[in-house]
Amino acid sequence: MGGSGRRSITDIGWEEFHALPLEEKRPYLEREGGRGEPFHTLFAQQFDRPLLERLAALANRIRFISKRKEGALALKSLLCHKRAMLYFSQPSSRTFLSHLAACQILGLTTGSVRDTSISSEFKGESKEDSIRTFSSYFDLIIMRTPEQGLAEKMSWELSNSERPVPILNAGSGKDQHPTQALLDIYTLLRSFEEKGGLHDRTVVFCGDLLRGRTVHSLSYLLTNFPRIRQVFVAPPQLQADESTFSVLRAKGVEFETSENLREAVKSADAVYMTRIQDEWDDAKGDSAKIDTSRFKFGAGELALLPEHGVIMHPLPRRDEIATCCDHDPRAMYWRQMRNGMWIRAALIAVTFGFEDQITEMPL
Amino acid sequence: MGGSGRRSITDIGWEEFHALPLEEKRPYLEREGGRGEPFHTLFAQQFDRPLLERLAALANRIRFISKRKEGALALKSLLCHKRAMLYFSQPSSRTFLSHLAACQILGLTTGSVRDTSISSEFKGESKEDSIRTFSSYFDLIIMRTPEQGLAEKMSWELSNSERPVPILNAGSGKDQHPTQALLDIYTLLRSFEEKGGLHDRTVVFCGDLLRGRTVHSLSYLLTNFPRIRQVFVAPPQLQADESTFSVLRAKGVEFETSENLREAVKSADAVYMTRIQDEWDDAKGDSAKIDTSRFKFGAGELALLPEHGVIMHPLPRRDEIATCCDHDPRAMYWRQMRNGMWIRAALIAVTFGFEDQITEMPL
Amino acid sequence: MGGSGRRSITDIGWEEFHALPLEEKRPYLEREGGRGEPFHTLFAQQFDRPLLERLAALANRIRFISKRKEGALALKSLLCHKRAMLYFSQPSSRTFLSHLAACQILGLTTGSVRDTSISSEFKGESKEDSIRTFSSYFDLIIMRTPEQGLAEKMSWELSNSERPVPILNAGSGKDQHPTQALLDIYTLLRSFEEKGGLHDRTVVFCGDLLRGRTVHSLSYLLTNFPRIRQVFVAPPQLQADESTFSVLRAKGVEFETSENLREAVKSADAVYMTRIQDEWDDAKGDSAKIDTSRFKFGAGELALLPEHGVIMHPLPRRDEIATCCDHDPRAMYWRQMRNGMWIRAALIAVTFGFEDQITEMPL
């Protein structure tokens, strides 16, 4: 590491690096010799519009190429000399499986630790040592933990070790879940690809906007696109807060809050529904006391949604979206989930510097 | 989907489909453009004698081809562009591992969920949504659940979604376990291949014939073969019931019940031993009150078994078969287990329409 | 099996085999048609100096070859027609993952059982039947259990069955952990490769020398190399015992015990630190009563260690080695861990008779 003129993560101490504002951390996390793509992927702030559009184009390409068996085999030969570790100490089947599938598409073999009770942690090992262990046997570490900041710490640690291995943050506490934000943007880009593009749109967020990290990250990423109006529909106790709004204000983005989903749906290009994140309740059952009945998407809302509008949800859902909406062509959440697999494959490919090889493959 | 003249699962509502008798469901579950082989595999009633013999021949072929490294590699290249999900919410190492090995023989990469406590279900997601999630990332879903009917429901759901993905039922409640029945038939076909074939035989079932779904399914499948006499040996409380016998009567199959294993063994071509399924006891320990001592196969029974006879067991066993029988050439249960791997590989191959490619491979 | 003149495990009964001294068991466990390499790997006593040096040379080769993508692919094609089962009924992420990675380097596909509560054992199956089940679907069984002797029993059982499949002992009770000893020796061989070789050295063991099976095995293997002096530094309650010392005496190896780590470090070529194995405490918390404060390696010890000395640890560590030592070039424990992956790959390769094919590959 340590490029010419580029700021390298090996030239900075942990405390100093950690104290930087998110935007300023980006260059330290880039792949050396690349064109701005990440080596470590930690937060949504590493992605600007050109990079998002590159990743979306690459994901599209991977999706098309893998339709034919020869294409699928060509993709699988790209990274078949690499091994990925999926370290998921927080439960998540969806994020786990889509990263697994993304690895398999590119040919990486995988190992996983999904339950820390069967790992060495019971013997008193520190998490840092555990993750450094994984870096000994694997070439990529995909990690999901309830601990804020652990992925960032390990990125610095590994880059400053004998064996720098990229970290892909698959969700860290209340903190960040950057690949979820990527798949959301990819879904919006695909949805409006043939309808004029992702600009001059109204995106409605609804549900638990305070604790759902996906909303926070997506709201941020949308500021990269011109004139995206954002509407936040939630009960007062679960409304997004200044951590979200201050970014929008600073970027001069138009936004408003509301408690009326039906009214918001009428002018929505996209409605992004979310689940009540009651696993973060201070006291168990706190969320249950909030009246969320008006913050659900059902037949009534479907009837009001413009014809070109799309319905999204990061899933899993409870009853935020009625199953009667599932077969509507505007219901984008199943495709959105599958998009996660494609965009993660694209991200892993750029992490290892294989973007050009894929771009040169025949469709 | 929706072939010419063929009844398609996309042309029928769930309630109507679900209400059909098992035999009438078969055509709805077939692979489009195929010759009667399943797309979704849900129950033993989808298999008739010609299909069973095709699968056995294919399993034989896979078994022979994989003996040489070049053959093994050719098989592995067949489905290496596909990914299988093993969703096992009910514990089973044997069924899990043999499906896993079957996938690996054909080159499929795999993902698994074996413990629903680490999946998203805790977040309040419905099982239907969970399984639809898997269908987003995988091309085949192998599922084992304690819930009767879930595999059937998901087959209909997925076939009527944007992304129809085949379901392979690896055991659903007390209900069905079709691939176990397939491996049992395959074992009988192999056992009598060079002894005149599977007809005019006496098959003795012994043990828990009431709750072991394998007995029920195998008994049904045997009605496809000419003049197979069936003898059911069990304590009265665990004897097979009308759900088994009525089928035999309707098909005009000769059968009898007994409490005397030794007597039955003397004229048996095959003895199929089973374990007491005490996990289905209404009250814990109920089974323990039943005297099962006379329903075990030991040295005494071995001495009475005809020389050409075979001993089978779906495994795991407790003490139904004494370990002293293990080295007898008539003990077929270890080979029977391995047969499960071959017949499952054959089934997966036909599900994806690769039967001919395997048949054309050199031995 | 059953070679000309060679003693075969199929020619000896279990009781007689089991009663043999460890050294005399070795020939029964060798690969038929090989040059002394193991078929089943059960204990450190199967490895003498020539075999250790062959394995180290092979591990070096695998390590170099896999640096280039073409080399990595060539290695992956060697055993891609084989499947390995990792049966870990005792928790261990490190040993599990390094065996997994070793398999993946050579192209073996894998299945695993890591939690016996999800396996069939709850149905009352014997461990012997469970392991024989794995042998039905897989070509190699890598097993770690808390039960002493189970790996040896299964080696005999499988070799005397229709389907002999090699067993690789990845840790059996307090008993043996042969591949850990192999990676330790490999690390020492690498460390002194360019410093005159592994002879005329002082190796200091420190920590829980009574219950750490790695110390016992490594101490034994070191007797294969000329004039290696061994120093055992531990609190009296955790000092190595006659089971270790009697071997050294019989082989005429110089050794001593001590309670002074700093003094021992001054003349050490290698310091092998270990963790207090309190999981083996007779009563929970017994170990906590022992004063272990003087048996830790920190900045003070580092300052006393000769410049050419190396620090080793089987990991996981608690606080036996201060993290401030991690970046010192003499800290060998991270590399030691990675060495485990290479030497295990070498061992698996020889088990299947692929040593020559690797030796002939271009670097």
pLDDT in tens, chain B (363 residues): 334 456 789 999 999 999 999 989 999 999 999 999 999 999 999 999 999 999 999 999 999 999 999 999 999 999 999 999 999 987 788 899 999 999 999 999 999 988 656 555 556 788 889 889 999 999 999 999 888 889 999 999 999 998 999 999 999 877 789 999 999 999 999 999 999 999 999 999 999 999 878 898 999 999 999 999 999 999 999 999 999 999 999 999 999 999 999 999 999 999 999 998 877 777 777 777 888 899 999 999 999 999 999 999 999 999 999 999 998 999 999 999 999 999 999 999 999 999 999 999 998
Q: Is A13 on the interface with C (CB under 8 A)?
A: no
- Please enumerate in sequence order all residues whose Cβ is within 8 A of that of C105, keeping only pairs 6 or more positions apart, or say none: C62, C66, C72, C75, C76, C341, C345
- The answer to whether residue A76 scores a pLDDT higher than 80 is yes
C-alpha dihedral, B290 to B292 to B294 to B296, nearest 10°: 170
Q: Round to whole Å and give the CA distance between A219 and A257.
A: 13
Other C-beta atoms closer than 10 Å to the C-beta of B74 total 17
The two three-digit tokens of residue A81, written as one number:
């000399």
The whole-angstrom separation of Cα A202 and Cα A228 is 6
Amino acid at B351: T
Integer-rounded Cα Rg, in Å, for chain C is: 20
Q: What is the CATH architecture assignment of B178-277+288-338?
A: 3-Layer(aba) Sandwich (3.40)
Residue B117 has a pLDDT of 60
Locate CATH 3.40.50.1370 in chain C.
9-177+340-353, 179-338
User: What are the strands of the beta sheet with C140-145, ordered from one edge?
Assistant: C109-113, C83-88, C140-145, C167-172
> Between helices B69-78 and B93-105, what is the axis angle to 10°?
100
Residues 42..81 of C with a Cβ closer than 8 Å to B: which?
Answer: 80-81
**What is the distance between the alpha carbons of residues A334 and B58, in angstroms, rounded to a whole number?**
36
A177 is catalytic: yes
Q: State the DSSP code for B92.
A: -
What is the DSSP pairing of strand A167-172 with strand A228-233? Answer: unpaired
Residue of C nearest to A161 (CA): C327
Chains that touch C (3 or more CB pairs under 8 A): A, B
Residue C7 to residues B179, B256, C4, C20, C47, Cα–Cα distance (Å): 42, 52, 8, 13, 17
Confidence band for A3, pLDDT divided at 50, 70 and 90: very low
Which residues of chain C from 158 to 197 reach within 8 Å of chain B, CB to CB? 161-163
pLDDT tens track for C73-101 = 999 999 999 999 999 987 788 899 999 99
Do C291 and C235 meet the contact criterion of CB atoms below 8 Å apart?
A: yes
Helix B93-105 vs helix B333-351: angle between axes, to the nearest 10 degrees? 50
Specify the CATH architecture of the domain A178-338. Answer: 3-Layer(aba) Sandwich (3.40)
- What proportion of chain C, given as a percentage, has pLDDT over 70? 96
Taking alpha carbons only, the member of B351, B214, B187 closest to residue B269 is B187
Query: Which residues on chain B are in Cβ contact (under 8 Å) with A93?
Result: 113, 118-120, 130, 133
CA distance C339 to C336: 5
CB-CB neighbors (< 8 A) of A120 in chain C: 91-94, 316
C98 close to A (CB below 8 A): yes
In chain A, which residues have their Cβ closer than 8 Å to the Cβ of C93? Answer: 113, 118-120, 130, 133
Nearest to C109 by CA among C89, C133, C85: C85
Residue B87's Cβ-count burial label (10 Å; 0-12, 13-18, 19+) is buried
Query: CB-based burial of residue A336 (10 Å sphere; 0-12 exposed, 13-18 middle, 19+ buried)?
Result: buried
- The CATH 3.40.50.1370 portion of chain A extends over 9-176+340-355, 178-338
A330 lies within 8 A of chain B by CB = no
Return the bridge partners of C142, or none.
C86, C168
CB contact under 8 A, A318 and B124: yes
Of A111, A162, A163, the CB nearest to C100: A111
CB contact under 8 Å between A129 and C316, yes or no, is yes
Task: Tokens 């570490």: give the residue.
Answer: A141
Which of B81, B134, B354 has the highest number of chain A CBs within 10 A, making it the mutation to test binding with A? B81
Residues 6+ apart with CB under 8 A from A248: A219, A223, A230, A255
How close is the nearest chain C Cα to the Cα of B36, in Å? 29
Does the CB of C111 have a partner CB in chain A at under 8 Å?
no
Distance from CA of B79 to the nearest CA of A (A): 9
pLDDT value at position A284? 73
Dihedral of the CA atoms A337, A343, A348, A354 (nearest 10)? 150
Confidence of residue C278 (pLDDT cuts 50, 70, 90): confident
The partner residue sitting opposite A133, judged by closest CB among C275, C315, C318, is C315
In CATH, what is the architecture of C9-177+340-353? 3-Layer(aba) Sandwich (3.40)
- Residue A109 a catalytic site member: no
Chain A nearest-CA residue for C88 = A118
Q: How many CB atoms lie within 10 A of CB C352?
A: 18
pLDDT at B174: 74
Quick check: A123 pLDDT over 70? no
Rounded average pLDDT over A61-72: 97
Q: Cα separation of C312 and C294, whole Å?
A: 17
**Could you report the per-residue pLDDT of A244-273, keeping only the tens digit for each?**
999 999 999 999 999 999 999 999 999 999
Closest-CA residue to C40 (of C131, C161, C213, C169): C169
What does the pLDDT look like over B30-78, one tens digit per residue? Answer: 999 999 999 999 999 999 999 999 999 999 999 999 999 999 999 999 9
Does C14 touch chain B if contact means CB atoms closer than 8 Å? no
pLDDT number for residue B105? 98
Confidence of residue C289 (pLDDT cuts 50, 70, 90): confident
The CATH 3.40.50.1370 domain(s) of chain B lie at 9-177+340-357, 178-277+288-338
> Cα-flanking dihedrals φ and ψ of residue C244, to 5°?
-85, -50
Exposure class string for C331-348: b at 16+ Cβ within 10 A, else e: bbbbbbbbbbbbbbbbbb
Cβ-count burial of B229 within 10 angstroms (0-12 exposed, 13-18 middle, 19+ buried)? Answer: middle
CATH assignment of A9-176+340-355, given 3.30.70.2750, 3.40.50.150, 2.60.40.3950, 3.40.50.1370?
A: 3.40.50.1370
C332 within 8 A of C312, measured Cβ to Cβ: yes
The CA distance from A309 to the nearest CA of chain B, in Å, is: 19
On whether the CB atoms of residues B202 and B269 are closer than 8 A, the answer is yes
Is residue A307's pLDDT more than 90? yes
Token pair listed for B286: 């109920």
- Whole-Å CA distances, A147 to A90, A128, A152, C196: 9, 12, 10, 47
pTM: 0.94
- A69 is a catalytic site residue: no
CB distance A119–C338 less than 8 Å?
no
Q: Which CATH architecture has domain B9-177+340-357?
A: 3-Layer(aba) Sandwich (3.40)
Q: Is B119 on the interface with A (CB under 8 A)?
A: yes
Amino acid at C70: E
What residues pair up with A141 in beta bridges, in sequence order? A85, A167
Q: Which residue has the higher pLDDT, B21 or A90?
A: B21
A284 to chain B, any CB pair closer than 8 A? The answer is no
Contacts of A75 (CB under 8 A, 6+ apart): A62, A65, A66, A105, A106, A107, A345, A358, A361
Topology given in CATH for the domain delimited by C179-338: Rossmann fold (3.40.50)
Is the ipTM value over 0.95, yes or no? no
Q: CB C318 to CB A125 under 8 A?
A: yes
